[in-house]
Amino acid sequence: MNLEQTLRERLDAKTKPIGSLGRLEDLAVQLGVALGTDEPSLDHPQMIVFAGDHGVAAAHGVSAYPRDVTWQMVKNILAGGAAVSVLARQHGIALTVVDCGVDHDFAPQPGLVLRKVTPGTADSTQGPAMTAAECAQAIQHGREVVRALPGNAVLLGELGIGNTSAASLLCAALAGCTLDDCVGPGTGLDAAGVLRKRGVLQRALELHKHASEPLQVLAAYGGFEIAAMVGAIQQAAQERRVVVVDGFISTSAVLVAHAVDPKVLPSCVFSHRSGERGHELMLRHLGAKPLLDLGLRLGEGSGAALAWPLLVSACLIMRDMATFESARVSGKTP
Ligand SMILES: O=C(O)c1ccc[n+]([C@@H]2O[C@H](COP(=O)([O-])O)[C@@H](O)[C@H]2O)c1
Ligand SMILES: Cc1cc2nc[nH]c2cc1C
């Protein structure tokens, strides 16, 4: 019997009608398989918020907010005032911010990993957002961040004005959808703004239409924080850690990691369906079912933090619930 069958049998022996805990049962089985044990338990969860600036946003105003919000929100997260700070604190999740290329000089401080690259990607309508070397370095940085942190669960968060543009382009290139299907308001563009954004992204897509390898596609569109998340996903899956994937932008990093190696997918739990147009298509491409549907479209890892207690519950159900035999409860009538 393989591990998945063992986990299903364990759940079926618990004091409940078969399958009555619904999606929580699938989650418990997924976590057991991802962690490689029939007694899954999550320890030292790490919320990692990857932050980066985007050349396409600087050059074309494809966001409803100014670029300075990226560095300002990094400071807000570190000061404990952002949504992800509040939610991580609520759930006892450690929080690290990684500067993957923000155009600001942050003072070294606890909880902040300083950047290793030049800040901000290049404008993807003019050339690749990053060179192949920069892309490889950003991926490596994401791997190193995960390797240095304890625990067996990584929650992905991100921050970067303009990064829904990069994520939409990755979606179009890797999930085979049209820009009409996957370009949305992001932080809150109006209908005219979305139309203009789509026009800008159409130019980038045309310029890089010959990019075919997943890492070539990633370098074409960026951003540095998405590339670092790709590395984080690869490292976490390799170390048999669980990866909690947040919204539209984190899922675009999974699209890339999956295109490189589909074996990362069983380690990924998708926290929620984002309100951003196109997330559904990404999830469908990956065959993924998100846990929550709350109309979230914030990013930062806020959805991952909100879904976290469900993962904890799934593990506790698998480990601690009594069986029909141990609790002397009558099983199903034959
Ligand atoms: O997580 C999501 O699904 C999501 C959807 C829309 C926007 N965001 C966040 O908003 C920022 C990107 O939006 P924009 O409009 O600047 O491309 C970035 O900081 C993301 O964390 C996040
Ligand atoms: C205020 C603000 C907070 C964010 N958090 C993640 N993306 C964001 C974008 C904005 C604009």
Is the CB of residue 225 less than 8 Å from the CB of residue 99?
no
CATH assignment at residue 30: 1.10.1610.10
- In this structure, are 212 and 108 located in the same domain? yes
Active site residue 300: yes
Mutate to test the pocket of ligand 2, among 187, 249, 297 (most ligand atoms within 8 A of CB): 187
CATH assignment at residue 63: 3.40.50.10210
- The rounded distance, in Å, linking the Cα atoms of 303 and 84 is 9
- Whether residue 332 lies inside any domain: the answer is no
Q: Which residues of 63-95 are buried (b: 16+ CB within 10 A; e: fewer)?
A: bebebebbbebbbbbbeeebbbbebbeebebeb
Ligand 1 center from residue 277 Cα (angstroms): 11
Quick check: 102 pLDDT over 90? yes
Per-residue pLDDT at 162 = 98
Of the CA atoms within 13 Å of residue 73, those in its CB half-sphere come to 24
Please give the tally of structural domains in the chain: 2
Ligand 2 center from residue 73 Cα (angstroms): 7
- The rounded distance, in Å, linking the Cα atoms of 18 and 15 is 9
Per-residue pLDDT at 73 = 98
pLDDT in tens, 318-328: 999 999 999 99
Quick check: 149 pLDDT over 80? yes
The ligand that comes nearest to the alpha carbon of residue 197 is 1
Active-site residue identified among 9, 25, 300, 325: 300
- In this structure, are 21 and 77 located in the same domain? no
- Whether residue 285 lies inside any domain: the answer is yes
- In this structure, are 86 and 232 located in the same domain? yes
Per-residue pLDDT at 324 = 98
- In this structure, are 11 and 138 located in the same domain? no
Quick check: 117 pLDDT over 80? no
Per-residue pLDDT at 118 = 82
Q: Which residue has the higher pLDDT, 116 or 144?
A: 144
- Whether residue 333 lies inside any domain: the answer is no
Which residues does ligand 1 sit against, CB inside 6 Å?
63-65, 158-165, 186-187, 246-249, 274, 276, 297-300
- In this structure, are 9 and 78 located in the same domain? no
- In this structure, are 92 and 138 located in the same domain? yes
- In this structure, are 30 and 169 located in the same domain? no
**In this structure, are strands 112-113 and 153-159 parallel, antiparallel, or unpaired?**
unpaired
- Whether residue 334 lies inside any domain: the answer is no
Residues of the chain with pLDDT > 70, as a percent, come to 100
- Whether residue 101 lies inside any domain: the answer is yes
List the domain range (segments joined by +) for residue 30: 3-40+318-327
pLDDT in tens, 183-196: 999 999 999 999 99
Mean pLDDT of 268-274: 99
- The rounded distance, in Å, linking the Cα atoms of 169 and 331 is 53
Cα dihedral 270, 56, 186, 65, rounded to 10, equals: 130
User: Lowest-pLDDT range, 55-59, 146-150, 163-167, 242-246?
Assistant: 55-59
Quick check: 19 pLDDT over 80? yes
- In this structure, are 166 and 26 located in the same domain? no
User: What is the reported pTM?
Assistant: 0.98
- In this structure, are 27 and 152 located in the same domain? no
- Whether residue 154 lies inside any domain: the answer is yes
- Whether residue 179 lies inside any domain: the answer is yes
Give the confidence band of 1 by pLDDT, cuts at 50, 70, 90: confident
- The rounded distance, in Å, linking the Cα atoms of 69 and 293 is 26
- Locate the ligand 2 atom nearest the alpha carbon of residue 84 and give its number: 5
Cα dihedral 58, 61, 66, 71, rounded to 10, equals: -30
Mean pLDDT of 229-258: 99
- In this structure, are 109 and 17 located in the same domain? no
Per-residue pLDDT at 285 = 98
- In this structure, are 70 and 35 located in the same domain? no
Q: Compute how many other C-beta atoms are within 10 angstroms of the C-beta atom of residue 298.
A: 17
Which residues does ligand 2 sit against, CB inside 6 Å?
65, 69, 73, 159, 187, 298-300
- Whether residue 254 lies inside any domain: the answer is yes
Average model confidence (pLDDT) across the chain: 97
The ligand that comes nearest to the alpha carbon of residue 68 is 2
Q: Is 327 exposed, middle or buried (0-12, 13-18, 19+ CB in 10 A)?
A: exposed
Q: Where are the alpha helices (DSSP H) in 183-294?
A: 191-207, 214-221, 224-238, 248-260, 279-286
Interacting residues of 120 by C-beta distance below 8 A, sequence separation 6+? 52, 53, 54, 55, 58, 101, 102, 103
Per-residue pLDDT at 116 = 79
Distance of alpha carbon 260 from the chain centroid? 16
- In this structure, are 169 and 275 located in the same domain? yes
Interacting residues of 156 by C-beta distance below 8 A, sequence separation 6+? 48, 50, 229, 232, 233, 243, 244, 245, 246, 250, 253, 301, 304
Ligand 2 center from residue 69 Cα (angstroms): 7
